[in-house]
Amino acid sequence: YLVPVVILIVGPATWVEKFPEARGTRQSPVDIVTSRASSGGSAPPLVWRYSVNHPRSVVNPGYCWRVDENGYDSELRGGPLGSDVYKLQQWHCHWGSVNGEGSEHTVDGRAFSGELHLVHWNTSKYNSFTEAAGQPDGLAVLGVLLMVGSKHDELDKVVRLLPYIQHKGDKVTFSEPLNPANLLPKRIAYWTYPGSLTTPPCTESVTWILFKEPVQVSAEQVRLNLCYYVNGKNV
Ligand SMILES: COc1ccc2c(ccc[n+]2C(=O)c2ccc(S(N)(=O)=O)cc2)c1
Ligand SMILES: [Zn+2]
């Protein structure tokens, strides 16, 4: 007898139905094949400046957590960004359901425990984040690979708030000074490529800047992130 086989396709494979961009030519994330990366040559230095003392809110958007910068001033320029100035809109993280496989980008096939994304938009050319999110040079995302090691004090200012935003849509505002620059690795060498949002609508509007050096977070910080987020669902 024939066994009825039902293949339930969920996740990225179904995104193309609703988001045609997902079928594009510059889709992220990618595997960084280090032997094929060309050297940066004479690219100007990447420069950033973030405001520290302003109220920020941590939101549970339904996948992991997101910190909104609430329009406060910041600047990202140089590197692959030409003469345009970008502004930090929000930052968020991606964790896996199992330790050691949470990152979106992989490096020579290796995944990391998590990945932090600092999302900036091009204020030289566009008037809003939403407008920029639809343009090929609209967004620039700094990617930071996370690996288990020593506790990360700056990140802990967010991680310790997670118990208060356990469900999708929950939001908590904090005013403790926090400098997003402290989330970046010491060595600022990076890979860069033209890509897309890694989640729907997968718009091909992101200049990706992925730092080579992973940043360490403690096993407890990974566990705290995981316990509110298993298999892409908030539990
Ligand atoms: C125009 O409609 C949009 C635009 C953007 C949306 C979005 C829904 C969720 C996330 N975003 C995002 O802003 C977004 C999505 C993914 C990423 S990522 N993981 O950094 O590539 C960054 C930012 C809807
Ligand atoms: Zn992301």
Q: What is the mean pLDDT of residues 30-35?
A: 96
Test site for ligand 1: of 93, 118, 199, 208, most ligand atoms within 8 A of the Cβ:
199
Whole-model pTM? 0.92
pLDDT digits (tens, 9 = 90+) for 53-67: 999 999 998 877 999
Taking the centre of ligand 2 as the mean of its atom positions, its distance from the CA of residue 210, in whole angstroms, is 12
230 falls in which pLDDT band (50, 70, 90)?
very low
pLDDT band at 102 (very low <50, low <70, confident <90, very high): confident
118 Cα to the center of ligand 2, angstroms: 8
Choice among 5-14, 40-49, 74-83 with the minimum mean pLDDT: 5-14
- Virtual torsion, Cα 60, 11, 222, 206, nearest 10 deg: -70
Top mean-pLDDT range of 22-31, 154-163, 204-213, 223-232: 204-213
Distance 103 CA to ligand 1 centre (A): 17
Res 229: pLDDT: 57
> How would residue 40 be classed by pLDDT, with cut points 50, 70 and 90?
confident
pLDDT, tens only, 89-99: 999 999 876 66
**Residue located nearest, by CA, to atom 12 of ligand 1:** 197
Average pLDDT over residues 18-29: 88
Q: What is the ipTM of this complex?
A: 0.94
Q: Is the pLDDT of residue 193 over 80?
A: yes
Q: How far is the CA of 92 from the centre of ligand 2 (A)?
A: 6
CA of 1 from ligand 2 middle (Å) equals 46
Mean predicted confidence (pLDDT) in 228-234: 50
User: Which residues sit with their C-beta closer than 6 Å to ligand 1?
Assistant: 117, 119, 130, 133, 141, 197-199, 201, 206
User: What mean pLDDT do residues 79-93 have?
Assistant: 97
Residue with the smallest CA separation from ligand 1 atom 5 is: 133
Task: Give the confidence band of 15 by pLDDT, cuts at 50, 70, 90.
Answer: confident
Q: Which ligand places an atom closest to the C-alpha of 115?
A: 2
